[in-house]
């Protein structure tokens, strides 16, 4: 009797986890599995940023019909960012995090030695890469620092 309850409990938990987690599809072969979408994402990024990009993997979330592409510039395979499309939130367009991630990366590189020197025991920190100017492009760190000083 005790064994039967344990088996039912395990089955119930597995069933619940399956229902809660939903169905996700992930592929490490985006150009083969999503050829049209992959080309559209690459074209969008290359036109927007005038750089060459590649897609490492694509994940589709069935619950909200959103597709997430994990991309990187061809010149820096370690710099991974996402491009999202589909569903109610993104629709037919693309939402990418390349610009904000690139700015945050530059700021972190600039401030890391300063923070490490001022707070030697601090292991984690966060810098805000938000910009409040209408740049129309991804600003360089020098432009952002100058803009910050002009606002003081």
What would the pLDDT profile of 74-100 be if each residue is shown by its tens digit?
A: 999 999 999 999 888 888 889 999 988
Residue where the block lists tokens 């559209």:
40
At 152, is the secondary structure helix, strand, or coil?
Answer: coil
pLDDT digits (tens, 9 = 90+) for 33-81: 788 899 999 999 999 999 999 999 998 888 888 899 999 999 999 999 9
Domains of the chain: 23-96 (3.10.450.570), 100-151 (no CATH)
Residue where the block lists tokens 């803009």:
147
Distances, alpha carbon 111 to alpha carbons 11, 25, 106, 116, 138, in Å: 51, 38, 9, 8, 19
Question: Within a 10 A sphere around the Cβ of 62, how many other Cβ atoms?
Answer: 10
pLDDT for residue 128 is more than 70: no
Comparing CA positions, the residue from 104, 100, 65 lying closest to residue 82 is 100
pLDDT at 25: 62
Residue 56 CA to residue 96 CA, distance in Å, equals 15
Residue 82 forms beta bridges with which residues? 70
Residue 64 CA to residue 66 CA, distance in Å, equals 5
């Amino acid at each position: 009797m005790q064994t039967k309850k344990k088996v039912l409990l395990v089955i119930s938990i597995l069933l619940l986890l399956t229902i809660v987690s939903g169905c996700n599809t992930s592929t490490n072969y985006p150009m083969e599995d999503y050829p049209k979408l992959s080309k559209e994402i690459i074209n969008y990024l290359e036109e927007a940023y005038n750089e060459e990009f590649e897609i490492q993997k694509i994940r589709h979330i069935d619950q909200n019909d959103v597709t997430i592409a994990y991309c990187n510039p061809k010149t820096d395979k370690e710099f991974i960012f996402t491009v999202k499309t589909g569903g109610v939130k993104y629709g037919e367009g693309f939402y990418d995090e390349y610009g904000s991630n690139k700015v945050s990366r530059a700021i972190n590189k600039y401030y890391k030695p300063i923070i490490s020197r001022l707070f030697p025991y601090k292991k984690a920190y966060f810098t805000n890469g938000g910009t409040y100017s209408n740049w129309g492009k991804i600003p360089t760190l020098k432009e952002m620092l100058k803009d910050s000083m002009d606002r003081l």
